[in-house]
Structures are given as C-alpha cells and as structure tokens.
Amino acid sequence: MKRHDGKQRNIYDEYLERDFTDAPESEGLALPLDRRQFLQLAGGGIAVAFCIPGSLLAQQRGRRGGEGQQLPEDFNAFLRIGEDGRVTGFTGKVELGQGIITSLAQMLADELDVPLESVDMVMGDTDLCPWDRGTFGSMTTRFFGPPFRAAAAEAKAVLVELAAEKLGVTKDRLKTRDGAVYDDAGQKKVTYAELAKGKKILRHLKGAPVEKPGEFTLVGKGLDRRDAVEKVTGRAKYAGDIREPGMLCARILRPPSHDAKFLRVDTSAAREVAGTQVVQDGDLIAVLHESPDLAEQALARLKPEYDQPAASVDDRTIFDHLLKVAPPGETVAEGGNLGAGQSAAHHVVENTYLNSYVAHAPMEPHTALAKVEGNKVTIWASTQTPFALKDEAASLLGLPAQNVRVITPYVGGGFGGKSNNRQALEAVRLAKLTGKPVQVAWTRAEEFFYDTFRPAAVVKVRAGVTEAGLISFWDYGVYFAGERGSQHFYDIPNHRTVAYSGGWTGVPGSHPFATGPWRAPANNTNTFARESHIDALAAKAGIDPVEFRLKNLKDPRMRRVLEAAAKKFGWSPAKAPSGRGYGVACGTDVGTVVAHIAEVAVNKQTGSVRVKRVVCAQEMGLCVNPEGARIQMEGCITMGLGYALAEEIKFAGGKIHDSNFDTYTLPRFSWLPEIETVIVDAKESPAQGGGEPAVICMGGVLANAVFDATGARVLQLPMTPERIKAALARV
C-alpha cells in the first residue's frame, strides 16, 4: 500500500503541520480532510479533533516497527457537541470485541457531565468518521481512553469559555452539570445546546495525552455496557444482520483449490431452482436468491470443470520448500563475535523449530452487504479496515472514493484476518451486476479457503552455554514468520539475528495460498523458538530454567515479570526434566513484557496434553484498566492453547483440507486451565499494548512444560499427540 511507505508518511506529516489548512490532494492521498471538509463532516456545534494511536501503526511505518511506537500527530477521531446538545464521538476504528463503543460513551458522559443517554458513538463509518488506517489486533482501551477524555476536557473548556461570555460570569465561578453550565450561586444557567447553537468551532489536539491512574473511571462493565446488553439480547447487528429491500444472497462458485484453473461451467440445472439468478462475469460465477440456503441449493447444481495441477507441496513438505525458496536474510540485530562465543561454549545446542499455518477463524465469517445506486455505493462489512475497503471498492468500480460509503456494524472477531476485504468487493461486483443489494456471507468453508493464514515458518537456532551457565553465543535465523519478536532480550555477548523474508505475507512462490498478520504476528513463532531454545540450554547446563533465565537476563522489566510469575506460581527450583510438568517462557510484544509459567500433565500412551494451570505476569507500563487487561490476557491464553496444541491447516498444494471445525480444532471449554493473571505495576512508564502480548508465550511455555514432564522436546507447533509421541520415542 502506497500510503504506508516512508515517503508518503512524510507528506502526510507535513500536511498535518499545516493544521488542516487547504492542502493539495497530492499523490492521490485520500488522507485527512481539509478544514472546510472537516467542518462539513462535523456539522455545526463544537468539535474537537484528536488522534487515537493504532496498535500496529509503528509496524506499518517501518521494518523495525512493533516496539517503541510513536504517536502520530494526525487525527483520526473527533467529538462533537451538536447544536442540539448531544455529544457524539466519531472514529474510524471499529468494535471487534473491545467494548469501547460503550465504555467511550460512558467516558464522554463522565467528562462532559451529560447523561449517558445523550452520548452516541459513531464508529467505522467512512462518511461520518475521519480517515483511519484500521483496527488491528485486539486493541485495549489504552488506545482510546486517554485521547477521548482529553478531547472531552477540551470541549468542556470551550463550553465554559462560551458560557462565561454569555452569562457574564468569570470562568472560575462556573460549573458543569447535566449538559449545562451553571454559575456557583446557582442563579444563571445555559445549556450546552444553547452554547453550541449556530457555532462552528474546531479545536485540534496534537499528540496523545497520557491518562493519570486516579483519573481513570472507565467502568464499561455490567449492565451499563451498551454493547453487552445488545449482545446478550441478540439485538447487536453484525454485517450479516443488515437487510435492505430487494436484497439477494449470493453464493459464489469456488475453485476446489487455489491453484486450480477454471475451464467451464454448466449453469443450466442451477437456473431451474425457482427464484434463482445466475451471474457469470469472467471469473465470478454466482447464484443469487432471497434466501442463502436456496442459493446454496442452486450452487450445488452448478457443474464446473477445472484443470487441477498436481500438488507440489503439502503440510509436511512445506518447511523444506520454504527453506529452499527463502530470499537472502537481513540482519535484524548482531553484536560481539560468534566465533569467540563458540570457543567459550561448553555445550552447544542446535535445533530447528517449525510451526504450521494457523487460521484466524473468527466465529463470524467474512460478510458484507453492498448496494449500488447510480454511481453511489454503500457497503456494510465485517472489516477491520473500512477506509481501505472504501478505496478498493471505488477503484473496482472506477468511481471517486467519495462515492463509496462503508458502514461497519459490530464485527464478530478479526484477529488480523478481517483486514482482507475480498467478500465485500465480491458483494460490490454482484450488486453492480444485478442492480440489487447483494449480501455475500461466506460459509465456514469459504472462510477457511480464503483466510490469510498465519504463515508456516522455520526458525534455526544454534547457541552455546559456558561451564558457568552463561549463554556465550546465539545465532538465530527466522524464515517466513516475520521479524517481530525475533530479537532476544537476554544478556548474550555474541549474537546474531537474521530474518529471511521479513514479512508474514511471504515472497512469490513461497506460500501456496495467502498469509497475513495473526494476533501478535510473527511473535508467536519467534517466542516459541527462542524460549524453547533457552530451555534446551538450561537443561544442558543442568540449571533450573527460571534460575537460568535470571542468570542470563539483565533487563529489569523482564526480570520483574519473571520473578512475579514465579512467585505467583510458587516455583521451586529443579533442573528439567523434573517430571513435574512445569514450564516457563518470557517474551515481549508492543512494548509490553510477559512471563508465563504453566503446569501440564502428559499422557505418554496417547500423547495428549492437559494444561492444568497457566500463570501470566504482564508489565504493560501504566495499566489504565486492569480488568480490561485481564480479560485480554485470559483471551490470549485461551486462544494460545489452540496454536500450541492443535491448530494447523492441512493442505496439498492449493487445496485446503480443512473446511470446518470438525477437523480444525479450536480451544474448547474442557481445555481451560486454571488461569491466573498478575499485572506488574509500572505507573511511572507510559502505557503499552495489552491485547496481544499474552498470546506469544503459549507455544514456548507449553513446549517447555511438556519437556519438563517427559524429557521430550517437541520442536514443532502444534504439539499434537502424534508429535508428542514421536518426540517421546526419540528420548
């Protein structure tokens, strides 16, 4: 994407320096609005523009991203006190499950002293909200709360200024209550509506303010949670719940595999199903009906023919293939002298770690409804990137972007997968072809077929430890996962980290289907490999794995979380394998550090693993909403059980064998360990990400626990019973 490269950023930044004065739309920047456009967008009243940082923003800006994010200076949100006195928050971010649609309304109500009922949130609507890159990962309230609150405070300051003028009272004698400003004697009063009437005031907050802990009253819990009530009553609308008069449901003919070549199709039998419309437009062949199940029946009557090339790679051979096609590596970090480190080593351990393709599998498959009226397009989509979709749809139809409106209802999970808007573009095409509103709701099979999987990856590590138990060298190469999380944080004098194909989308000829970012992209793979290898070194050195880490760790934050996790767990030192089934792993992601300790039981006959307990300590700088952070940590731990133990896509060439949850297993209730979360206090440092870090250690911590239980080191994720049995056989 053009706008993510460095050059574009600079233009963007420069543009913003000018603070919304008219600027040319240079190089097709569909970026911020000029002042005039903005005021149109905001309507009358009092508006405050500000910015919500995105979790992966830094990543998109540069290759070294992911850590040390900078806050952008642009704005992607604003709030308005309308001429009717209602407060509305606008942001292009979408609600994926963070609960912000309600908690932010509450926060605005709090800060502005208005009843909750007079606050609205408008999210992910490209006609009403300012441009935004997209909602990535599971963003916690830390991104949203402080800037919203600061903007509300700014708006309140404007209201008080206006009231002082209007009432002829000095500002220090004014108070706000219930949507109005009063003087302290209680004699004079003016409502927000009266103050906002006929005004067009715009303030712009630069930078992002930091919340002070005591100020944080974001409750967002219980029955106050608007989205919770909507969601428990079935009233919450997702993209598939939107209905338009005359709407048709489309089912699209899919190839049997990603590498199949379409030859021809006989549509005659499908046309016989009453009420069915068949559309054929180049590669797009669809049947449409008022009901999706009847469209499905018609789809089954299509007789297509394909040319299917022989599969050249499958889920077993993919790793050799990836190593073969890997581009030259790029050094991510290095220091010291590997040769010197090798001579100092008493033990050297060399392993190759693998992980398979993993699906996002949100419970809501990709869904969209598109309506084309003349040269205007409206799309309701389950998407993490409504603004990207707007541009994509506009260029698909050759329309100016302003003719396209994307509306994002509640999204039923994303995890990175809903940055791909294929389903919405299919709906747009079909709506254009049929002249009717068209819903495209992928089946579970389509969701598996077109998912942008977490890539299969290989990590090769060679490292040594001295007689004194100090790591003397570390030589690390990661292939195809991506480099996020690849740098170690231990105290190792001689080291090198190399990334072969730095991105998760691979290079041409690498993956037989699409891959992309998956919750804490790359870091799950890297943390699994690193922490498994650290453990292997500890075992070789005959040192307790917690002690070994502390011995080789100077980073004070990492030491603190590791010590906190060990304390909470009640760790007693023993060298592995101790037979207890205890494992430990540490990691860092989006500026947050985590340490996990797990207890497992392994059935050596069947190779199955029962995770009994997971303790996770997390230091995320200032934690503004501990309960919210815990929910995210629990979600990460539960989700992480899947890629660690069971989840992997089986395929042959471009044919995906998994099409539903019968073969592709997600974590279930019976898998749930006892989960204990510890938030390590660090009020003095800025808030860091909380939606992803706790997922990254799950592979490593469970692999290390399995080793401690059995003495078998499993080098490949997921650790299926077969792989565990195979590893046991090698012991």
Pairing of strands 45-50, 77-81: antiparallel
677 membership: H or E segment, kind and range: strand 674-679
- Minimum distance, C-beta of residue 661 to ligand FES, in the bound complex (Å): 8
Tell the burial category of 716 from Cβ atoms under 10 Å away from its Cβ (0-12, 13-18, 19+): buried
Q: At what angle do helices 145-167 and 100-112 cross, to 10 degrees?
A: 30
Q: Which of 365, 394, 397 is nearest to 381 (CA)?
A: 365
- Minimum distance, C-beta of residue 415 to ligand FES, in the bound complex (Å): 10
Q: What residue has token string 């942001």?
A: 91
- Minimum distance, C-beta of residue 239 to another protein, in the bound complex (Å): 11
Does residue 292 touch ligand FES according to CB under 6 A? no
Considering the complex, state which of residue 293 and residue 307 has its C-beta at the smaller distance from another protein.
293
Considering the complex, state which of residue 46 and residue 294 has its C-beta at the smaller distance from another protein.
294
Q: Tokens in use for 169? A: 């009272």
Does residue 731 touch ligand FES according to CB under 6 A? no
Considering the complex, state which of residue 489 and residue 671 has its C-beta at the smaller distance from another protein.
671
What is the number of the residue whose Cβ is closest to ligand FES? Answer: 363
Q: What residue has token string 């290095």?
A: 334
Binding partner selected for residue 420 from another protein, ligand FES, none, CB under the kind-specific 5 to 8 Å limit: none
Considering the complex, state which of residue 236 and residue 481 has its C-beta at the smaller distance from ligand FES.
236
- Minimum distance, C-beta of residue 52 to ligand FES, in the bound complex (Å): 22
Binding partner selected for residue 361 from another protein, ligand FES, none, CB under the kind-specific 5 to 8 Å limit: another protein
- Minimum distance, C-beta of residue 407 to another protein, in the bound complex (Å): 16
Considering the complex, state which of residue 120 and residue 241 has its C-beta at the smaller distance from another protein.
241
- Minimum distance, C-beta of residue 39 to another protein, in the bound complex (Å): 35
| 3 state DSSP class of 642 | helix
- Minimum distance, C-beta of residue 592 to ligand FES, in the bound complex (Å): 22
Considering the complex, state which of residue 236 and residue 457 has its C-beta at the smaller distance from another protein.
236
Considering the complex, state which of residue 660 and residue 685 has its C-beta at the smaller distance from ligand FES.
660
Q: Which of 446, 440, 443, 379 is nearest to 409 (CA)?
A: 379
Pairing of strands 189-191, 200-204: unpaired
- Minimum distance, C-beta of residue 223 to another protein, in the bound complex (Å): 6
* Rg from Cα positions in the chain: 27
- Check: CB of residue 107 under 8 Å from CB of residue 226: no
Chain positions 114 to 133 lying near ligand FES, rule: CB under 6 A, are none
- Minimum distance, C-beta of residue 658 to ligand FES, in the bound complex (Å): 15
Binding partner selected for residue 637 from ligand FES, another protein, none, CB under the kind-specific 5 to 8 Å limit: another protein
Binding partner selected for residue 670 from another protein, ligand FES, none, CB under the kind-specific 5 to 8 Å limit: another protein
Binding partner selected for residue 113 from ligand FES, another protein, none, CB under the kind-specific 5 to 8 Å limit: none
Determine the Cα angle at 220 with ends 215 and 223, to 5°.
140
Amino acid occupying residue 720: T
Q: Which residues bind another protein (CB under 8 A)?
A: 96-99, 138, 221-223, 225, 227-238, 240-241, 243, 249, 290-294, 361-365, 410-413, 415, 441, 443-444, 627, 631, 634-639, 660-662, 666-670, 672, 675
HEC secondary structure over 439-492? EEECCHHHHHHHCCEECCEEEEEEEEECCCCCEEEEEEEEECCCCCCCCCCCCC
Binding partner selected for residue 731 from another protein, ligand FES, none, CB under the kind-specific 5 to 8 Å limit: none
- Minimum distance, C-beta of residue 364 to ligand FES, in the bound complex (Å): 8
- Minimum distance, C-beta of residue 447 to ligand FES, in the bound complex (Å): 12
What's the gap between Cα 231 and its chain centre? 21
Binding partner selected for residue 720 from ligand FES, another protein, none, CB under the kind-specific 5 to 8 Å limit: none
Q: What is the C-alpha to C-alpha distance for residues 349 and 541, in angstroms, rounded to an integer?
A: 11
Beta bridge partners of 200: 45
Considering the complex, state which of residue 63 and residue 668 has its C-beta at the smaller distance from another protein.
668
**Of 65, 413, 493, 626, the one binding ligand FES by CB under 6 A:** 413
Determine the Cα angle at 435 with ends 429 and 437, to 5°.
75
Q: Tokens in use for 234? A: 């079935």
Considering the complex, state which of residue 139 and residue 278 has its C-beta at the smaller distance from ligand FES.
139
Binding partner selected for residue 228 from another protein, ligand FES, none, CB under the kind-specific 5 to 8 Å limit: another protein
- Minimum distance, C-beta of residue 635 to ligand FES, in the bound complex (Å): 9
Contacts 24+ apart (CB under 8 A), 385-388: 385/133, 385/134, 385/135, 385/418, 385/419, 385/421, 386/92, 386/94, 386/124, 386/125, 386/126, 386/132, 386/134, 387/30, 387/92, 387/126, 387/131, 387/132, 387/133, 387/134, 388/1, 388/134, 388/419, 388/421
**Of 82, 85, 89, 97, the one binding ligand FES by CB under 6 A:** 97
- Minimum distance, C-beta of residue 203 to another protein, in the bound complex (Å): 34
- Minimum distance, C-beta of residue 4 to another protein, in the bound complex (Å): 26
| 3 state DSSP class of 612 | strand
**Of 232, 269, 363, 731, the one binding ligand FES by CB under 6 A:** 363
Considering the complex, state which of residue 223 and residue 729 has its C-beta at the smaller distance from ligand FES.
223
Determine the Cα angle at 127 with ends 123 and 132, to 5°.
55
Binding partner selected for residue 539 from another protein, ligand FES, none, CB under the kind-specific 5 to 8 Å limit: none
Q: What is the C-alpha to C-alpha distance for residues 391 and 399, in angstroms, rounded to an integer?
A: 9
Considering the complex, state which of residue 633 and residue 706 has its C-beta at the smaller distance from another protein.
633
Considering the complex, state which of residue 300 and residue 363 has its C-beta at the smaller distance from ligand FES.
363
Does residue 635 touch ligand FES according to CB under 6 A? no
Q: Which of 308, 306, 310 is nearest to 262 (CA)?
A: 306
Considering the complex, state which of residue 223 and residue 310 has its C-beta at the smaller distance from another protein.
223
Q: What is the C-alpha to C-alpha distance for residues 85 and 716, in angstroms, rounded to an integer?
A: 59
Considering the complex, state which of residue 631 and residue 709 has its C-beta at the smaller distance from another protein.
631
Binding partner selected for residue 263 from ligand FES, another protein, none, CB under the kind-specific 5 to 8 Å limit: none
Other CB atoms within 10 A of residue 307 CB: 9
Applying CB under 6 A, the residues found at the interface with ligand FES are 97, 363, 413
